[in-house]
Structure 1
Amino acid sequence: MLHAKSIRMVMCSVILIAATACAPKSTITPAAVGASPDEFSITPVKPLESPKDFAALPAPTLGGVNLTDATPKADAIVALGGRTSTATGVDGGIVTYASRYGVDQSIRSDLAASDARFRKLKTAAPSFPWVQNKYERAYRRLALDPWAELERLRALGVLVPSAPPKS
């Protein structure tokens, strides 16, 4: 009787381990991303507002700004009694300079294909069949250690205001 219970216990354990080992990974982002400081998680946004007239909404503009986007410089100017410009928020000089040789309309698909080739090349070595996150394996050598980079910048005297203070 004791022998049958122990066999049943071992079989249940094997089934449990096999079922959890086959679980798919839900993300393709590197695991190191979660361990780094997230500078953007504390950015406050402005509250949503309903327009006065839904029929008279302006057409969306490429590179335009949203009313809820954070504008700390403009908010500081208004708080100090100044007036902000009515510009769209896009620096025309930067856009003109970046597109001076033309704009490739298929850049996203070209980059996606190039990335797929790179990941296939870097993960061509045989691996375990349950390892599905090849992204981290392909880009491991290109990853930046955020804490080491923070220390390097602090040693150079560079102020990093979004980083946590030294402990």
Structure 2
Amino acid sequence: MKRVKAAGRAALVLALCVGVTACSRTPDLMNTQRGQDTPDEFAILPNKPIQQPENYRDLPPPTPGGSNRADATPFKDAVAALGGSPDRLNRTGEIRGEPGLIGHVTRFGLGRDIRTILAKEDYEYRKRNDGRLLERLFNVNVYYKAYRPQSLDQEAELARFRRAGAATPSAPPSGEFQ
């Protein structure tokens, strides 16, 4: 009788463990939503300031569903911030001109579905490095542990650049890391 009770308890514990681990979900390594009860300040995208035109007759006609001069243009803003010419971007965001740059960047081929491929590979990697049972159960952040093999040692790279004679003006002074 004792054996039957012990076997019953063991089966119950085993079923409970299988039930908890069988709950499949997308691996969430970073847990950015954990404990967040305030607004996300990065979700707010400010518009450009509204400008008073010199002459209202010179305004372009409105285009329903189109853009206006106060809309945010993050791609053009990024190109301008990096020293490029935002006027060279067409409506799809592809760069026109610059054949030397485009030729160099696409010299090993151009995969149009690279985002899909990377998303799939990253999902598989996150599934393999999803953390242990208790880490998943208590929603512990395992992002940095999972991606540690792919991380860069900042101090070693800075020392390597300085030994090579490269200028590192935005890095801390030499004695800071020692």
With normalisation by structure 1, the TM-score equals: 0.46
Bigger relative contact order, structure 1 or 2, given CA contacts below 8 A and separation 6+?
Answer: 1
With normalisation by structure 2, the TM-score equals: 0.43
